[in-house]
Structure 1
Amino acid sequence: MTKRLTFGTIATILALGGAAHAQDKTYTVALDGTFAPHAMPALSGGVEGFNVDLANEIGERLGAKMDIVATQFSGILPGLAAGTYDFVVAPVTITEERAGNLLFSEGYLNTDFQFVVKAGTDEITSLDSLNGKIIAVNRGSVYDSWARDKADEVGWTVESYGTNSDAVQAVVSGRAYANVAGNTVSAWAVKQNPALELSYLHSTGLVWGMPFKKGDEELRDTVEAVIECMKLDGTMVALSEKWFGVTPAAGSAAVTPAAGFGQPGFEGYAADDHTPSCD
């Protein structure tokens, strides 16, 4: 599965001034070590998960060591701004507000809302089909507020639980018809429990990217060149199938390099006509 940058890609990085970053370098990067399946405690010690593998693969392809720091998400972006971290490998939703303060790579995963139901449940084809149903959510999450905002429109009843695991268990026990959470978290829950299955996906139009400090275009572009190759050579697909049990859809952020550097439509985006060059 491991692919290394070709001479053509390395030449592109050199043209961007990235050689100093890509060779004999240690990057200190941060993620939330409690956000399964992106990062979570490993039985053997340390952390494991999609974003842990993603970070290590980036380091391997750049010939650099990755010092992965697992910490609380609330301190990650301030730590980046303070220079504690070189960049952030935790999944961070790209928004206009964040792009005004941070420099983002292009998106590498779509971040959508997905419903989890008991295996064998009739397919949910629209939110309207959930009229009269009980929906379990993690208390205080964005999914909690979204579901409550939609309650009058859809006609569902929202019940909040202390953790998303408890909300999922409410579906297993029959106390709720469905749970709604982020698509990757929902996929992880289903992967762990054969009594459940994925159902309706509500698209937000948002993606997760990697944040860098403002003004660090050199490093951002160097890392993004690697991410683009991982999309094209099937590495992102393999990681998604390993950790989420889901094959990314054609045209999704996990398999589609964006033009230029950064996320199109957001501050910090740099339009150019570079072509990814990968093994």
Structure 2
Amino acid sequence: MKQLGKLLQVMLLSVWAVLAGTGTGSADTLADIKSRGTLRVGMADSTPSQSKDPNSNEWEGFNVDMAKNLAEQLGVKLEIVDASWSTLIPGLLAGQYDIAMCDMFATPKRAQTVAFTTPYMNLGFSWVVRADFPGEDAAALDDPAIRIANLSGSAMGDIIRKLAPRAQVKDVASDNVFSPHLEVASGRADATLSDHYNNTQFLKRNPSVKARILGGDKQFQQTPMAYAVRPDDQPFLNMLNSWIIYNQTTGFSEELRHKWYGF
């Protein structure tokens, strides 16, 4: 009995050590960043929020400037870690970077896996359809004959399946956020869903494509965009929320929005 008691005690101590070190406590990412002297930021390509300049191969965009400002506020160097939309959250949870800074929609489904900061911006959605698509109502998309392209790993998939449950969803694995749009432009898909800004930018840059926004300039479901950290990162999350609110009240975020988004 004594040996059994000792064994149970050792087992309980082992479990406690694991929980204290990895799961139930609060991570000290902020202290790790300070000690390391580097802020590691995960990014996935999405112009103009964050993308690589093809000439310099350097990251640029709204969230790149925000990341530079965050590193400056922390007094450390900035290191941007390349990711894709499908690997962005897994990479964060695996500790490959301290924070994911992208134009990521803070959805309830994602919030079950990561912790989101307070929103830094809100954007609405719209549909891009073939130029000859019959109708101006999204209800026409809910048809088994309709093919809707979706970027794998994005939040659009769940929304598409909710709004058009009978349609065929064609998931596209790519680092190019406009890959689903190209599926529509080439006739391989009938429609795609994205934030309204991306849709207008795609059509503006490709005026000859045979595609259009459904319902003209109509957008719906304003959704918050936020940065993501690991779910046990409360001290880091508190600091980030204060930083975002500070940049909003000082006008820094608005200045960057005008610079990169034009509104």
Question: Scaled by the length of structure 2, what TM-score is found?
Answer: 0.61
1:30 counterpart residue number: 42
- Give the number of the structure whose alpha-carbon radius of gyration is greater: 2
String of CA shifts for 1:141-177, please: whole Å, max 9, x gaps. Answer: 7657755764599xxx989796874665688899999
2:217 to 199, 211, 219: 199
Contact 2:40–2:98 (CA<8 Å) still a contact in 1?
Answer: yes
Cα deviation, 1:22-50, whole Å, max 9, x if unaligned, reads 79931111111x33332222121222222
Q: How does 1:22-171 map to 2 (within 5 A)?
A: 25-32=37-44, 34-42=45-53, 43-115=55-127, 127=138, 137-138=149-150, 143=156, 146=159, 150=163, 165=178, 168=181
Gaps of 5+ in 2: 1-29, 131-135
Which residue of 2 is the match for residue 188 of structure 1? 201
Q: In the aligned structure 1, how far is the partner of 2:233 from the partner of 2:92?
A: 12
Query: CA shift at 1:103, angstroms?
Result: 2.3
The amino acid across from 1:87 in the alignment is I
2:88 and 2:100 in contact (8 A); partners too? yes
Secondary structure at the counterpart of residue 238 of structure 1: helix
Partner Cα distance (1:194, 1:70) in 2: 30
Return the alpha-carbon distance in structure 1 between the equivalents of residues 93 and 186 of structure 2.
Answer: 44
Q: How many residues align?
A: 221
Q: Helix, strand or coil for the counterpart of 2:81?
A: strand
Higher helix share: 2
What CA distance in whole angstroms lies between the structure 1 residues aligned with 2:228 and 2:120? 12
* SS in structure 1 at match of 2:88: helix
Distance 1:173 1:29 in 2: 34
Task: State how 1:260-275 maps to structure 2 within 5 Å.
Answer: none
1:101 positional shift: 3.4
Q: In 1, distance between residues paired with 2:161 and 2:91?
A: 33
Q: Any stretches of 5+ residues in structure 1 without a counterpart?
A: 1-17, 119-123, 248-279
Give the percent of matched residue pairs that are identical in Structure 1 and Structure 2: 26
When the two structures are superposed, what TM-score results if normalisation uses the length of structure 1? 0.58
Question: d(CA) in 1 for partners of 2:182 and 2:113?
Answer: 38
Find the residue that maps to 1:200 and give its secondary structure. coil
Q: Is the 8 A contact 1:115 1:181 kept in 2?
A: yes
1:241 aligns to 2:239 (yes or no): no
1:67 offset after TM fit, Å?
Answer: 0.7
Q: Secondary structure at the match of 2:219?
A: strand
Q: Which residue of 2 aligns with 1:230?
A: 247
Counterpart-to-counterpart distance in 2, 1:67 and 1:227: 20
RMSD: 4.4
1:212 maps to: 229
Aligned partner of 2:23 in structure 1 is none
- Is the contact between residue 141 and residue 164 of structure 2 (CA under 8 Å) also seen in structure 1? no
Does the 8 A contact of 1:47 with 1:70 survive in 2?
no
